[in-house]
């Protein structure tokens, strides 16, 4: 629910900007703020959840999320847009998505099943994207953007009853070492900050955020600019969600057998190749839908592998905090991808330059993941 509703915002860029007479940079900047606040709030949401439990964080964050979506529906000024879909939705996302949820799962399953479990959880985000983006498009066409956003805002509230099922969830026996359990949060942060692989993960996840946010927000408008019917952009993003159900699950399964850092390098290279082929081919309905399916296989498949590496190297005890910091980098990339897409479109009347930047960054991300030292510090501590 959290990821699907957030992913539908790209559908609203053109109708809102056309009706209110804004340039695309205005709403793009609001969604860039959303991504930045999502990232800024993620480490703190993870810390609170690690210490006091994820259920409380989910409830409070869902209320912020719903309020932000509704404010964006009833506000007709750039300030309301920056506060609602930007600030409040971003903070709400920080406590309802990956950092908090994956940390619960990472602590609740044994190490040999963790990668697969993280893949299944990530696939659920894609299922939300696949189901809710077409629903958002239908609501938009049937009721207009104001009422469609109001309905989506109230849908966010479904997260609250789901949070109550987290009561009683705890770390499995043998799920983390005694050393990790006795380690303080400050000690865990100091350990991670001295590990070169942690910084390389932070750098690589920046690129993932840039790719995902730019495509999610600007792709529907790009499709219309290329002469496609409005529903083509929506169905392409829905296909991304559908394909990533399989991509995330497969990444989680493969991460339990093969080294995660090499799988991440392969994913980023494949993204660059897919983008290059897409922008060089003549635009058509078929090319758009094929691109959506291929990118979907690579979309969130980085999440179970990146979060799995954090848990593998540092243990699951403070996974919410440590992955939250890595995810902040992802959201800085998202901020830049969303804002830069709007800025360069307004200045050049084209998204071409952003596509080429995306290709370059994909190759760069593949290179930085390759040398990561992925040995478990927890295992080596126990042996010593």
Average pLDDT over residues 261-283: 96
Task: Give the range among 7-11, 37-41, 304-308, 378-382 with minimum mean pLDDT.
Answer: 378-382
- Measured between alpha carbons, how far is 236 from 290 in angstroms, rounded to an integer? 8
At 358 the pLDDT is 96
Q: How confident is the model at residue 35 (pLDDT cuts 50, 70, 90)?
A: confident
The mean pLDDT of 90-107, rounded to a whole number, is 86
- Measuring CA to CA, which residue among 331, 193, 344, 211 is closest to residue 278? 211
Residues 177-214: tens digit of each pLDDT: 444 556 778 888 899 999 999 999 999 999 999 999 89
Q: Please say whether the beta carbons of 96 and 128 come within 8 A.
A: no
pLDDT tops 90 at residue 50: no
**Residue ranges making up the domain that contains 93:** 2-168+185-379
220 vs 64 pLDDT, higher one = 64
CA distance 122 to 333: 19
Residue 179 covered by a domain: no
Give the dihedral sign, CA 340/343/346/349: negative
The reported pLDDT for the residue numbered 178 is: 42
- Provide the pLDDT for residue 174: 44
Of 19-23, 79-83, 256-260, 376-380, the one with minimum mean pLDDT is 376-380
pLDDT for residue 175: 45
User: Per-residue pLDDT for 376 more than 60?
Assistant: yes
pLDDT at residue 167 in the model: 59
Q: How large is the greatest C-alpha to C-alpha distance in the chain, in angstroms?
A: 65
Convert the pLDDT of each residue in 147-171 to its tens digit. 999 999 999 998 998 888 775 555 5
Report if residue 221 sits inside a domain.
Answer: yes
Is 110 inside any structural domain? yes
Assess whether pLDDT exceeds 90 at residue 293.
Answer: yes
Residue 176 lies in a domain: no
**Which range, of 67-71, 314-318, 337-341, averages the lowest pLDDT?**
314-318
The verdict on residue 180 lying in a domain is: no
In this structure, is residue 173 part of a structural domain?
A: no
CATH number at residue 310: 1.20.1250.20
> In this predicted structure, what is the pLDDT of residue 181?
55
Mean of pLDDT values over 356-369: 96
Q: Is the pLDDT reported for residue 36 higher than 80? A: yes
208/120: higher pLDDT: 208
- Average pLDDT score over residue span 7-24: 81
Domains in the chain: how many in total? 1
pLDDT tens by residue, 243-257:
988 998 899 899 988
Residue 141: pLDDT over 60: yes
Give a yes or no: residue 43 inside a domain: yes
224-241 residue pLDDT tens = 889 888 788 888 888 888
Kindly report the three-state secondary structure assignment for every residue of 100-136: HHHHHHHHHCCHHHHHHHHHHHHHHHHHHHHHHHHHH
Q: Say if 178 falls within a structural domain.
A: no
Instruction: Please give the Cα distance from 105 to 248 (Å, whole number).
Output: 15
* pLDDT given for residue 182 in this prediction: 65
Least Cα distance to 345 among 230, 219, 237 occurs for 219
């Amino acid at each position: 629910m959290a990821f699907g509703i957030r992913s539908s915002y790209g559908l609203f860029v053109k109708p809102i900007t056309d009706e209110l007479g804004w340039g695309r940079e205005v709403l793009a900047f609001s969604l860039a703020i959303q991504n930045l606040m999502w990232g800024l709030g993620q480490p703190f949401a993870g810390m609170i959840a690690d210490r006091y439990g994820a259920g409380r964080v989910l409830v409070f964050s869902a209320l912020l999320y719903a309020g932000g979506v509704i404010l964006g529906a009833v506000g007709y000024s750039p300030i309301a847009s920056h506060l609602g879909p930007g600030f409040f939705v971003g903070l709400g996302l920080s406590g309802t998505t990956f950092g908090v949820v994956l940390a619960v799962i990472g602590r609740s399953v044994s190490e040999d099943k963790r990668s697969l479990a993280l893949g299944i959880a990530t696939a659920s985000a894609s299922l939300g994207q696949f189901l809710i983006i077409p629903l958002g498009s239908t609501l938009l066409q049937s009721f207009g953007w104001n009422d469609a956003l109001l309905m989506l805002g109230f849908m966010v509230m479904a997260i609250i009853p789901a949070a109550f099922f987290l009561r009683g969830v705890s770390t499995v026996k043998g799920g983390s070492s005694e050393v990790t359990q006795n380690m303080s949060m400050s000690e865990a942060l100091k350990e991670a900050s001295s590990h070169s692989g942690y910084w390389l993960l932070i750098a690589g996840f920046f690129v993932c955020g840039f790719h995902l946010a730019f495509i999610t927000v600007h792709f529907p408008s790009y499709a219309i600019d290329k002469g496609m019917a409005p529903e083509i952009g929506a169905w392409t993003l829905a296909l991304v969600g559908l394909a990533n159900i399989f991509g995330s699950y497969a990444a989680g399964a493969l991460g339990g057998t093969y080294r995660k850092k090499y799988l991440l390098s392969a994913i980023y290279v494949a993204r660059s190749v897919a983008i290059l082929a897409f922008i060089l081919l003549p635009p058509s309905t078929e090319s758009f839908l094929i691109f959506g399916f291929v990118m979907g296989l690579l979309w969130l498949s980085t999440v179970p592998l990146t979060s799995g590496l954090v848990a593998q190297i540092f243990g699951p005890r403070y996974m919410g905090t440590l992955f939250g910091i890595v995810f902040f980098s992802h959201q800085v990339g998202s901020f830049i991808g969303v804002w830069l897409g709007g800025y360069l479109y307004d200045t050049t009347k084209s998204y071409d330059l952003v596509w080429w930047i995306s290709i370059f960054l994909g190759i760069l991300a593949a290179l930085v993941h390759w040398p990561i030292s992925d040995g478990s510090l927890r295992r080596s501590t126990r042996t010593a």
